[in-house]
A and B are shown apart, each in its own frame.
Chain A
Amino acid sequence: METLISIKPFLAIITASLAVILVVASRKSPNIREFWSFLAGVVTFLIVASMIPSVLSGVNLEYTVFQVLPGIELKFRADPLGLFFAVTASFLWIITTAYSIGYMRSEKEHAQPRYYACFAIAVASAIGVAFSANLFTLYLFYEILSISTYPLVAHHEDKAAWEGARKYTVYLVGLSKTFLLAGVVMTYMITGTLDFQVGGIFTTDMPSMLVTATYIFILIGLAKAGMMPFHNWLPSAMVAPTPVSGLLHAVAVVKVGVFSVVRIMLHLFGIDVLSEFGLGLITAYFASFTIITASIIALTKNDLKARLAYSTVSQLSYIILGVAMLTPAAMTGGVLHIANHAFSKITLFFCAGSIYVASHIKKIDQLDGIGRKMPFTMVAFTIGALSMIGVPIFAGFTSKWFMAVGSLELGSTVLMLVLMTSTVLNAAYFLPIVFRAFFKKPSTSESFQKIKEAPLFVVVPLSITAAITVIIGIWPDFFLSIVDMIFKAEL
């Protein structure tokens, strides 16, 4: 892999952060304020996208801002893995901004400048994590993300919101300030550096106890990944307005967690160390446990967003499972799932928000017949659900396919069974919603009869993400080519 010094990765983060200043400066006039959010989103995406050609041709872009301590720098690198995540996050920011406008205005939410400002910081730090070239930089942006999303989760400022936000902070800041920090310290003391490198910076001749302990600490510290038993913050964080749940809890926050896990597995510990010390398999079993358990819990939830939340917990562990299997196909599937899940799950969240805006319905058992009232929303929902289940021609299929191939490569019946069981469970908790929406008799109550499709600013974004879910299901080549680049360097 060649590297080229370029300010672009840093520039993307700067652009996204600039939105904060502009949003705050124009807080009095909503239209200008939202225009800045849009513009920042588009420019950020363009900067990120402009790096695709060089990364695809095997050239990483690197930028060192300055040295903090010897061996510790504020440094950014656009490599295939980081770029893959950054493209997804920055693109979905644009869509979510549009959706936010529709949602927040229909709901007449308060404190909207704060909302858009925090949103911009959150996206900037997600991109910061994506482009981090070392653990220090990653830790910096990881923490900024935790803090900046607190006001978003607590947006409604009522009892439930405070409670959710409190739990959110306790889990995310609490675990990262202890376990992740311990992991950072130990990594630095053992290896003398914090840089991410292809193949990892730990080596197999290091004491296995120490390496294992460091690995476990970092994994616990990265609670954003939602692995059990540190997943509880995610369902509680669903008190946030739906666009927040959509972007942050399908894309930015949780994906930063999962992305960080993938990053440290591949580029801090390295495949060799993970397989030598048997850490990959342990991780795979933990992930499997999370997948199954979270799916079962999802079955029991009647609140639509809660069901989606547990579905997210389960799907996040797919990504970790894929990478933890440590075979080429499984890792490809796992990383692909970052984008596939992002597009599908954000569609589902958008639909949940759309239903709420149009009808104020939150419970699944009140959704009977709503498909006739809100056809666009519910068709999009169906697409998202089918993709989550892993039906062919939808995005989720490709990642599941690769992971299934991976489990065969590994010859692990248990993991194969996990994949199959979870597919059944996915179908079990998603299809009844689709069935209710389209095939059950709608309520005859007057309020239900008055329901109309949600406003355009809500429906258009979710139609776009639904369309993309189908497109990347049929033509997965674009994302696949980036993922191939990750492992070309690796293997």
Chain B
Amino acid sequence: MDWLFDIAFIRDHILSILIFLPLVGAVVLLFIKNNTTVKWVTLGVMLLDFLLSIPLLLNFDKATHEFQFVEGPVDWIGSLNIQYYLGVDGISVLFVFLTALIGWICVLASWKSVVKKVKGFMMCLLIMQTAMIGVFCSLDFVLFYLFWEAMLIPMYLLVGVWGGPRRVYAAIKFFLYTLAGSILMLIGIIALYYAADGTFSIPDLMEHKYTFVFQAVVFAAFFIAFAIKVPMFPFHTWLPDAHVEAPTAGSIILAGVLLKMGTYGLLRFSMPMFPDAAQYFAVPIIILSIVGIIYGALLALAQEDIKKLIAYSSVSHMGFITFALFLFNKNGMEGGILQMFNHGITSGALFLCVGIIYERTHSRQISDYGWIIRLVPAYALFLFFFSLASLGFPGTNGFIGELLILFGAYESWGYYLIPLLVGVILGAAYMLIFYKRVGFGNADSHHEQPEPKWKIWDLDLREYVALSTLMIFVFWVGFQPMHFLDIMHVSVEHLIGQITGVAESVESITIAAN
């Protein structure tokens, strides 16, 4: 794909292209009547977007923490000093890639399951894609906020129009929660604008120093916005509802990308701009994270609905991530960011798995299954590996993230291992129990296992492609995590420097010690 970068226009405007290509696709869809063509066009646009994100990753300079592939700043609304300003660093580039990857998987996941208003659905997916990539690339706060809010409408529609029976309730709950957070963030952005002498440029705002009180107040406003998005305990209650009611693609986007927005916001804005406040609030946030880890895991343990189980497991896993990020050491931070990527892959894959079987049975009750291994062995194998990845089995991506987080936790305070390992073991418990129940069933004899009430068939080519792609990343990160960690190394070091004010001491045992 590298030859694409030989074309100067593409090289210079790669981020804009990645962002607006899907939007252009959505406009093109307006003129297409045939549903099949709509699907193929959407798939083509998403695949092109994904292919373009590969040279972005390959040409990314790992040696600097500076923003790269920068476009702008171009004056947009000159009187308010609002600019069109894009760029990625070692943290955001991974999520641009993740979003581009998840995009076309979502199209595949909806290929057969969406039957009504196909065109509208695909347009929502494409607009979503534009907004999501835009969020990760924006270097101007207003631009960022624009993309951030732009995600809300298509997501609301995805859940509200194509969702399950309680879709309206779930969609409005999702909308209100997120909007409440966004408004707080908007106030924070305006406050920043005035505090920093009238600029919305994110790199400039990072350079500026703020008083501690200002930091604390604005940090709190931002934090609530991001904590709702993550979602952190106690702001998580919208998540299970949204997940359960959302169509498969909606769940995949939600788990795969949207949840990462919250932690990304913490990394991009809260930490470097308000370092003193971040350190001041670190312990309470860590405590909330631990509560989230355990609480989410316990709830996951009690679920009968597969989607709810994975939704609560997300609460637990995101708890690990926020925990790790607020340790402010290299292992923890890198583990947290890697785990964000991993969680995107794994939980996206799990929701895809649920969607695949739901297409056949229209049931999400665990007790309706129990014949998976016997009747759909290929599907069972994929589900098995994704479950293992989710519980952090060695050799999978989840293990590496977990290990780095544990390293970071130990480095920070040895006793942190205790709550984390309780979370780890609960994670293993609910995933293994879940797999045992859907895989083997619960009957007392193998002669009495429940038979499915529906016509069941194993994976088709479309599903193989989607699942195998995600599977590659499970083992790629699991065995060669350095490929991904190397990208973020320098940026993470820089970020830690911004927070603690000093560069990490060389002597401390860090993962980069070689």
Q: Which residues of A does B touch, CB under 8 Å?
A: 66-71, 74, 110-111, 136, 139-140, 143-144, 147, 154, 156-159, 162, 169, 173-174, 177-178, 181-182, 184-186, 188-189, 192
B180: which A residues are within 8 A, CB to CB? none
A147: which B residues are within 8 A, CB to CB? 388, 393
B394 touches A74 (CB 8 A): no
A111: which B residues are within 8 A, CB to CB? 446
A157 to B480, CA, bound (A): 38
Report the nearest B residue to A136, measured CB to CB.
Answer: B394
Report the nearest A residue to B443, measured CB to CB.
Answer: A157
Other A-B pairs, 18, CB within 8 Å; known A144-B395, A178-B421: A68-B400, A68-B479, A70-B513, A71-B514, A147-B393, A157-B446, A158-B446, A162-B444, A173-B428, A173-B432, A174-B425, A174-B428, A177-B421, A177-B425, A178-B424, A181-B406, A182-B406, A182-B421
Q: A68-B479, A158-B444 are in contact. Are A185 and B428 (CB under 8 A)?
A: no
Within 8 A of A (CB), among B474-494: 479-482, 485
A162: which B residues are within 8 A, CB to CB? 444
Which single member of B394, B445, B509 contacts A143 (CB below 8 Å)? B394
Report the nearest A residue to B479, measured CB to CB.
Answer: A68
A157 touches B440 (CB 8 A): yes
B425 touches A178 (CB 8 A): yes
A139: which B residues are within 8 A, CB to CB? 394
A139 to B480, CA, bound (A): 17
B216: which A residues are within 8 A, CB to CB? none
B414: which A residues are within 8 A, CB to CB? 186
B440 touches A189 (CB 8 A): no
A131 to B449, CA, bound (A): 40
A110 to B479, CA, bound (A): 36
B449: which A residues are within 8 A, CB to CB? 157
B410 touches A67 (CB 8 A): no
A177 touches B511 (CB 8 A): no
**Shortest Cβ gap from B280 to chain A (Å):** 27
Within 8 A of A (CB), among B483-508: 485
Q: Mark B378-395, 1 if CB is under 8 A from A, else 0.
A: 000000000010001111
Is B217 close to A, CB under 8 A?
Answer: no
B514 touches A70 (CB 8 A): yes
A173 to B445, CA, bound (A): 24
A234 to B444, CA, bound (A): 21
A169: which B residues are within 8 A, CB to CB? 432
Report the nearest B residue to A189, measured CB to CB.
Answer: B410
Q: Which residues of B does A touch, CB under 8 Å?
A: 388, 392-395, 400, 403-404, 406-407, 410-411, 414, 417, 421-422, 424-425, 428-429, 432, 440, 443-446, 449, 479-482, 485, 509, 511-514
B425 touches A66 (CB 8 A): no
**Shortest Cβ gap from B315 to chain A (Å):** 20
A69 touches B482 (CB 8 A): yes
A110 touches B400 (CB 8 A): no
A177 to B421, CA, bound (A): 8
A178 to B388, CA, bound (A): 16
Q: A69-B482, A143-B393, A188-B407 are in contact. Are A154 and B440 (CB under 8 A)?
A: yes
Q: A143-B393, A174-B425 are in contact. Are A186 and B446 (CB under 8 A)?
A: no
A189 touches B446 (CB 8 A): no
B410 touches A186 (CB 8 A): yes
Which single member of B410, B428, B480, B509 contacts A177 (CB below 8 Å)? B428
A156: which B residues are within 8 A, CB to CB? 446
A177 touches B424 (CB 8 A): yes
B425: which A residues are within 8 A, CB to CB? 174, 177-178
A192 to B510, CA, bound (A): 9
A136: which B residues are within 8 A, CB to CB? 394
Top 9 nearest A-B pairs by Cβ distance? A157-B446, A70-B514, A140-B394, A185-B406, A159-B444, A178-B421, A178-B425, A189-B410, A158-B445
**Shortest Cβ gap from B113 to chain A (Å):** 30
A140 touches B481 (CB 8 A): no
Report the nearest A residue to B427, measured CB to CB.
Answer: A177
Q: A174-B428, A181-B421, A185-B403 are in contact. Are A110 and B511 (CB under 8 A)?
A: no
Which single member of A70, A140, A157 contacts B445 (CB below 8 Å)? A157
Q: A143-B394, A177-B424, A185-B410 are in contact. Are A70 and B511 (CB under 8 A)?
A: yes
Which single member of A67, A140, A173, A177 contacts B395 (CB below 8 Å)? A140
A71: which B residues are within 8 A, CB to CB? 513-514
Q: A143-B394, A178-B424, A178-B425 are in contact. Are A66 and B479 (CB under 8 A)?
A: yes
A189 to B425, CA, bound (A): 21
**Shortest Cβ gap from A160 to chain B (Å):** 9
**Shortest Cβ gap from A165 to chain B (Å):** 8
Which single member of A74, A157, A173, A192 contacts B509 (CB below 8 Å)? A192
Report the nearest B residue to A166, measured CB to CB.
Answer: B436
A66: which B residues are within 8 A, CB to CB? 479-480
**Shortest Cβ gap from A136 to chain B (Å):** 8
A69 touches B511 (CB 8 A): yes
B394 touches A110 (CB 8 A): no
A185 to B407, CA, bound (A): 6
**Shortest Cβ gap from A191 to chain B (Å):** 9
A158 to B449, CA, bound (A): 10
B422: which A residues are within 8 A, CB to CB? 178
A111 to B374, CA, bound (A): 10
B424 touches A67 (CB 8 A): no
Which single member of B410, B446, B480 contacts A68 (CB below 8 Å)? B480
Q: A110-B446, A158-B444, A173-B432 are in contact. Are A70 and B512 (CB under 8 A)?
A: yes
**Shortest Cβ gap from A134 to chain B (Å):** 12
A184: which B residues are within 8 A, CB to CB? 403
A181 to B406, CA, bound (A): 9
A139 to B429, CA, bound (A): 18
A185: which B residues are within 8 A, CB to CB? 403, 406-407, 410, 417
A188: which B residues are within 8 A, CB to CB? 407
B393: which A residues are within 8 A, CB to CB? 143, 147
A177 to B393, CA, bound (A): 9
A70: which B residues are within 8 A, CB to CB? 482, 511-514
Report the nearest B residue to A160, measured CB to CB.
Answer: B444
Q: A110-B446, A157-B446 are in contact. Are A181 and B424 (CB under 8 A)?
A: yes
A185 to B388, CA, bound (A): 20
Report the nearest A residue to B411, measured CB to CB.
Answer: A189
A182: which B residues are within 8 A, CB to CB? 406, 417, 421
A98 to B417, CA, bound (A): 46
Report the nearest B residue to A111, measured CB to CB.
Answer: B446
A69 to B324, CA, bound (A): 18
A18 to B403, CA, bound (A): 29
A213 to B445, CA, bound (A): 43
**Shortest Cβ gap from B369 to chain A (Å):** 15
Report the nearest A residue to B478, measured CB to CB.
Answer: A68
**Shortest Cβ gap from A135 to chain B (Å):** 11
A179 to B432, CA, bound (A): 18
A159: which B residues are within 8 A, CB to CB? 444
A69 to B404, CA, bound (A): 10
B400 touches A69 (CB 8 A): yes
A186 to B416, CA, bound (A): 12
B485: which A residues are within 8 A, CB to CB? 69
A110 to B374, CA, bound (A): 12
A69 touches B481 (CB 8 A): yes
**Shortest Cβ gap from A396 to chain B (Å):** 35
**Shortest Cβ gap from A25 to chain B (Å):** 13
**Shortest Cβ gap from B404 to chain A (Å):** 8
A174: which B residues are within 8 A, CB to CB? 425, 428-429
Report the nearest B residue to A185, measured CB to CB.
Answer: B406
**Shortest Cβ gap from A152 to chain B (Å):** 13
A159 to B441, CA, bound (A): 12
A71 to B482, CA, bound (A): 12
A67 to B511, CA, bound (A): 13
**Shortest Cβ gap from A453 to chain B (Å):** 30
A348 to B424, CA, bound (A): 39
Which single member of A68, A74, A143, A158 contacts B481 (CB below 8 Å)? A68
Report the nearest B residue to A159, measured CB to CB.
Answer: B444
Most buried by A among B432, B445, B480: B432
A178 to B407, CA, bound (A): 14
